[in-house]
Amino acid sequence: MADSDVDEYQKRWEASWNAGLKPGERFDACQSSPALLDLLKRGTVAVEGKRVFVPGCGRGYDPVTFIKAGAKEAIGLELAPSATPAANEYIAAQSVDTSKCYVETGDFFKWKDPAGFDVGYDYTFLCAMHPTMREDWAKAWHGHLSPGGKLITLIFPINPAADPGPPWYIHADMCKELLIPAGTAVDFVTKGGGDKKGPQRLEFRPITDKEASLRVEVESPFRSLRIIVLGFCIASAGIGSLFSLVYILKDGPDAWKNLGINAGVVAVAAWLLRRDLKARGTAVNRVMREGQLGACEVQLQNGRRLRLADLRGSARVVIMVGTREQVEAAVGAAEPFRERLQAAGVLLVPAAIYDQGSGTSDGAAPQASAADLKWVAQPVRLAEWRTWFEQQTKSQGTPTAGGLYISLRLDGRIRASGRGSPPWEQLAAQLPSVSGFFGGFLDGMDGRV
């Protein structure tokens, strides 16, 4: 995005405000959106004690609304210099603490608050930007939010037949396409008045270490207890060693013996503690990777779109990435084992993310029919898939030549991964059936692929 684009937008908005825009004129609604007021009233959006950021806030109605809803601080940002005094004048008349609720002038893409924000609110802001600025919008929002922060968006306008913008037509899927590759995960989407009518609200949040740590604690509930016990053992043995040093000259051999025992305890406990801490760190990284992968979407042959996380409990997903030729070859190699693999709930996701030609970069390779509903799903929004795999291969130094694969368990955890084509014969032999009395019961306990 060029600085000239922002300068042009600033001139347009400044002209509107400098002309003496009055409440109720043009885009000034005299109040916050009824949808936002309803969300706050019902407690769907919790802002108590949190810092809230509202770019493109106009006369400041939304910062005041958030402060009155219990926000610790609500800061608005306006591109037009003439809008800022008008907004702060309105805020000062609303009986709120103006040191906690105010509007600044700045460029959303460059302005920074070192403390970060717990909640961001985007309404009639993205739609006012030219479509060429949208990727920068997503990256900027990710930078403004603190880890664990949330971005609330009200999607408007939602009529694709509307006149060309601004405001520009936007929709929930488009926001997901922009935000997820920028490192922000979709939490949930709600719609009102049907699929195409009424307000749409998106709530996004970056995946945090704390959430991943909680999941790891559930998976290994005794690891934290071991870490605490080992810490006490090290401390106790360390103190004992100090006392032994004091008595070495007095007690002779016995003191040396005690010192040796304590030193041995410290060494063994330290080794065990280091092993547990390393295992916990590895597990946290794995959970975060799996959570990010679960946000990637596929389209079934009936046209339904789902996240990989939505398939947990119903399908063992096997992802194949590479060039179009590589994923076609991998799918073809699975065909002799199709009956047994389908009985085990295996769902293939062939993603041609490494094609160079523009005609083969949509990831829908190979094409499937309605008969393949429970056999093949096509990846959608390949930017998300490509970003995830590039991050993993870069961090682990894995070459992509020859293609890659990842096999997931029924619970969505990564069972195995590797280069080339998946080991279909082993998968067919080792994965249990998802039907019958014991269907899925042994998932995760059926041997290593």
pLDDT digits (tens, 9 = 90+) for 171-188: 777 887 788 766 666 555
Q: How far is CA 229 from CA 270, 303, 398, in A?
A: 11, 53, 38
Average of per-residue pLDDT values in the chain: 79
Mean pLDDT confidence for 60-75: 95
Q: Average the pLDDT over 107-129 and give the result.
A: 90
Pairing, β 200-205 against β 145-155: antiparallel
CA distance 52 to 68: 12
53 or 189, greater pLDDT: 53
Tell me the average pLDDT across 57-68.
94
What's the pLDDT score for residue 61?
A: 94
Asked if residue 288 has pLDDT above 60, the reply is yes
pLDDT in tens, 212-251: 677 677 667 788 788 888 888 888 888 887 777 777 766 6
Given pLDDT bands bounded at 50, 70 and 90, which one contains residue 165?
Answer: low
ω into 379 cis (within 30 of 0): no
Tell which residue, 24, 83, 92, has the closest CA to residue 58. 83
pLDDT at 424: 92
Q: Looking at 45-49, 58-62, 110-114, 353-357, which range is the least confident one?
A: 353-357
Cα angle value 354/357/358 (rounded, 5°): 105
| pLDDT at 159 exceeding the cut of 80 | no
What mean pLDDT is predicted for residues 301-307? Answer: 74
| Band of pLDDT at residue 53, cut at 50, 70 and 90 | very high
Asked if pLDDT for residue 449 goes beyond 70, the answer is no
DSSP 3-state of 386: helix
Q: Which residue has the higher pLDDT, 62 or 1?
A: 62
- Position 272 pLDDT exceeds 70: yes
**Rounded average pLDDT over 2-30:** 72
The predicted pLDDT at position 443 comes to: 47
Average pLDDT of the residues in 315-326 = 90
More confident residue, 345 or 18: 345
Instruction: State the pLDDT confidence band at 261, using cuts at 50, 70 and 90.
Output: confident
Q: Identify the residue with better confidence: 281 or 332.
A: 332
User: Quick check: 447 pLDDT over 50?
Assistant: no
pLDDT band at residue 157, thresholds of 50, 70 and 90? Answer: low
Alpha-carbon gap, residue 257 to 268, rounded angstroms = 17
Helices vs strands, H then E, count in the chain = 13, 14
Q: What's the pLDDT at 368? A: 53
* Residue 96 pLDDT exceeds 90: yes
Q: What is the amino acid identity at position 398? A: T
pLDDT at 217: 72
Range 140-159 average pLDDT: 82
> Does position 358 have pLDDT exceeding 60, yes or no?
no
For residue 366, pLDDT over 70 is answered with no
Q: Which of 212, 346, 189 is nearest to 291 (CA)?
A: 212
- What local confidence, expressed as pLDDT, does residue 435 receive? 63
Which is it for strands 316-321 and 346-351: parallel, antiparallel or unpaired?
Answer: parallel
Percent of the chain, pLDDT > 70? Answer: 79
CA-based nearest residue to 129, from 65, 191, 175: 175
Scanning 252-318, the segments in alpha helix (DSSP H) are 253-294
Q: What is the pTM of this model?
A: 0.47
Confidence at residue 60, expressed as pLDDT on a 0 to 100 scale? 92
Residue 364 has pLDDT above 50, yes or no: no
Quick one: pLDDT at residue 90?
94
